[in-house]
Amino acid sequence: MGIIRNILNSRSKKDGDFYMRLEKVLGFKPKHRKYYKKAFTHRSVNKRDSQGNAINYERLEFLGDAMLSAVISSHLFNEVPSGDEGYLTKMRSKVVSREHLNELGKDLGLLKMVFTKIPKNNFGENIYGNVFEALVGAIFLDRGYKYCERFIYYRVIEPYVDIERLEGKIISYKSLLIEWCQKKKKSFKFEVYEDTGNDALKHFAVKLHIDNKVIAKARATSKKKAEEKAAKRGYFVLQREITKSVK
Amino acid sequence: MGIIRNILNSRSKKDGDFYMRLEKVLGFKPKHRKYYKKAFTHRSVNKRDSQGNAINYERLEFLGDAMLSAVISSHLFNEVPSGDEGYLTKMRSKVVSREHLNELGKDLGLLKMVFTKIPKNNFGENIYGNVFEALVGAIFLDRGYKYCERFIYYRVIEPYVDIERLEGKIISYKSLLIEWCQKKKKSFKFEVYEDTGNDALKHFAVKLHIDNKVIAKARATSKKKAEEKAAKRGYFVLQREITKSVK
């Protein structure tokens, strides 16, 4: 009995952790928890419902991708009244690019929440974007379009979507950040060290310090790339302050 | 004064006709008429707002396309619980194919409602699908996602979307229709006549009669193609009755 009680306790603790994290990510209380559980279930778990249909996030990705695209389209449509169809299509594809979605999923720490039977470090970058899309699909099923829209505003558009940046008017995040730090009399430092990970390729890791606080970290195959990546992440973190002072 | 009054009268009569037709197509009363007017304005009209932005349906197409895709995705997701991501994507692209949207726009008689400075018979087939998408965009702006969803159910999904048909299980609409007529003891006739239109290519036109009533018409470059096209249209018209008896 003691063993069973321990197993049940540890399972309900794990569930509790999951839902606590989930609420933090969502910014609201879910109504139907099952959709979210599915959104974080990898196919390796090999679960099926009573009809024999697979329970994992893959179908939800399809739904979430369509909802994300609809919400972003509507945002861009309203935000850029002078942009024609071609412009809007190009901007949308930048926002919902694989790279961008992976970055989002990573920043939200979604991998920690994934139920899987294979080790998490075996996943490639795409797991982040895939799970993020599935989460949007789950929100749509749980709460409908309005909540989906609110979540995407709060988690994608507000922190990440800046039209000028998407238009490519910002070329180097590193110089933008340095300029901002000098203007604001803040100290900054890119701390570079050679990363001795398990990768076949040699990697460089960079920590960006502003006023002696680590603002962002990044890894890449060259020092220059890693610095730019860290600056880009730092830019996202500080975006609201920066755009206010630069404009 | 008489001339101005006549112009104003004829303009308001034209407007009245437009909104009467529009309400019939929509199945509800629009709140903000300006969106719909834009959805039917071709670029040749060359209108601009006070900011200098073009007033025509092109941007609304972008918005409507995304909404259509979201609504169809959600429908397919619910309708086919066994379909995986690849299946769902394939089915969606069939429903929102250019060919399908053009057919829809044609059946709704949307070209009649288009404001244009170039002659309407100069437009290709795509005008139908483009205006249909723009109309969906206008509905979204006017009434939000819920109305958009309802309109797409009522105008696209209910009359046209049949999973079995999309899966390619129906090969010939002509044989399906003939089979159904024989079963139901209905008379049928494909009335074929050579079409002497202005086209460079020779065309055949077909009327499909069922119980001495014209059910559908079609034109194509061969007799066989025109018959199949008319049968397909007839199938849509009679779909609910047919699928009930065939299943």
Residues A114, A120: Cα–Cα separation, whole Å:
8
Residues B187, B166: Cα–Cα separation, whole Å:
28
Least confident of A3-12, B94-103, B121-130: A3-12
Q: Is-catalytic flag, B133? A: yes
pLDDT at B104 over 50: yes
In a domain, B199, yes or no: yes
Q: Is-catalytic flag, A195? A: no
Residues A204 and A221 sit within 8 Å (Cβ to Cβ): yes
pLDDT at B204 over 80: yes
Q: Which of B59, B70, B77 sits opposite A59 (nearest CB)?
A: B77
Residues A127, B197: Cα–Cα separation, whole Å:
57
Closest CA to B180 of B247, B230, B244, B242: B242
B144 DSSP 8-state letter: -
Residues A235, A162: Cα–Cα separation, whole Å:
11
In a domain, B3, yes or no: no
Closest CA to B68 of B112, B32, B27, B101: B101
pLDDT at A207 over 90: yes
The per-residue pLDDT for B247 is 43
pLDDT at A116 over 60: yes
Shared domain for A183 and A242, answered yes or no, is yes
Confidence of residue A228 (pLDDT cuts 50, 70, 90): confident
Residues A131, A101: Cα–Cα separation, whole Å:
9
Residues of B with Cβ-Cβ distance to A54 under 8 angstroms: 84
In a domain, A1, yes or no: no
Shared domain for B225 and B180, answered yes or no, is yes
CATH number at residue A194: 3.30.160.20
The per-residue pLDDT for B163 is 79
Q: CB contact, 8 Å: B55 with chain A? A: no
Shared domain for A156 and A196, answered yes or no, is no
B208, containing H or E segment: strand B203-210
Shared domain for B18 and B67, answered yes or no, is yes
pLDDT at A8 over 70: no
Higher local confidence (pLDDT), A233 or B116: B116
Residues A124, A102: Cα–Cα separation, whole Å:
10
pLDDT at A54 over 80: yes
Q: CB contact, 8 Å: A82 with chain B? A: yes
pLDDT above 90 as % of chain A: 52
Shared domain for A64 and A94, answered yes or no, is yes
End-to-end CA distance of chain A: 66
Q: What is the pLDDT of residues B155-193, one digit of tens each?
A: 888 877 877 777 776 667 888 888 888 888 899 899 987
Q: Where are the alpha helices (DSSP H) in B82-170?
A: 85-95, 98-107, 126-143, 145-152, 158-160, 163-166
Give the torsion through C-alpha atoms of A42, A45, A47, A53, to 10 deg: 40
Confidence of residue A171 (pLDDT cuts 50, 70, 90): low
Shared domain for A46 and A136, answered yes or no, is yes
Give how many domains chain B has, as a whole number: 2
pLDDT at B207 over 60: yes
Last residue of a domain, one of B117, B144, B167: B167
The per-residue pLDDT for B242 is 65
Domain, as residue range, for B149: 11-167
- To the nearest whole number, what is the mean pLDDT of chain B? 87
pLDDT at B103 over 60: yes
Last residue of a domain, one of A167, A188, A207: A167
In a domain, A64, yes or no: yes
The per-residue pLDDT for B240 is 63
Mean pLDDT of B77-85: 93
Higher local confidence (pLDDT), B117 or A162: B117
Higher local confidence (pLDDT), A3 or B225: B225
Higher local confidence (pLDDT), A161 or B54: B54
Q: CB contact, 8 Å: B39 with chain A? A: no
Residues A108, A103: Cα–Cα separation, whole Å:
9
Asked whether the beta carbons of residue A85 and residue B62 sit closer than 8 angstroms, the reply is: yes
Q: CB contact, 8 Å: A194 with chain B? A: no
B130 is known to lie in a ligand binding site: yes
B20 DSSP 8-state letter: H
pLDDT at B5 over 70: no
- To the nearest whole number, what is the mean pLDDT of chain A? 87
ipTM confidence score? 0.71
Q: Which of A82, A88, A144 sits opposite B53 (nearest CB)?
A: A82
pLDDT at B224 over 70: yes
Residues B139, B57: Cα–Cα separation, whole Å:
13
Q: Which of B51, B81, B137 sits opposite A51 (nearest CB)?
A: B81
Shared domain for B76 and B159, answered yes or no, is yes
Q: What is the pLDDT of residues A100-115, one digit of tens each?
A: 899 889 889 999 999 9
Residue B108 Cα, gap to closest chain A Cα (Å): 24
Shared domain for B38 and B108, answered yes or no, is yes
Residues A171, A150: Cα–Cα separation, whole Å:
30
Q: What is the pLDDT of residues A151-161, one digit of tens each?
A: 999 988 887 78
Residues of B with Cβ-Cβ distance to A140 under 8 angstroms: 74
Mean pLDDT of A179-201: 78
The per-residue pLDDT for A247 is 43
In a domain, B4, yes or no: no
Q: CB contact, 8 Å: B50 with chain A? A: no
Closest CA to A162 of A244, A230, A65, A69: A244
Where do we find the tokens 């055949």?
B204
Q: What is the pLDDT of residues B7-45, one digit of tens each?
A: 666 667 778 889 999 999 999 999 999 999 999 999 999
The per-residue pLDDT for A239 is 72
CATH number at residue A112: 1.10.1520.10
pLDDT at A200 over 60: no
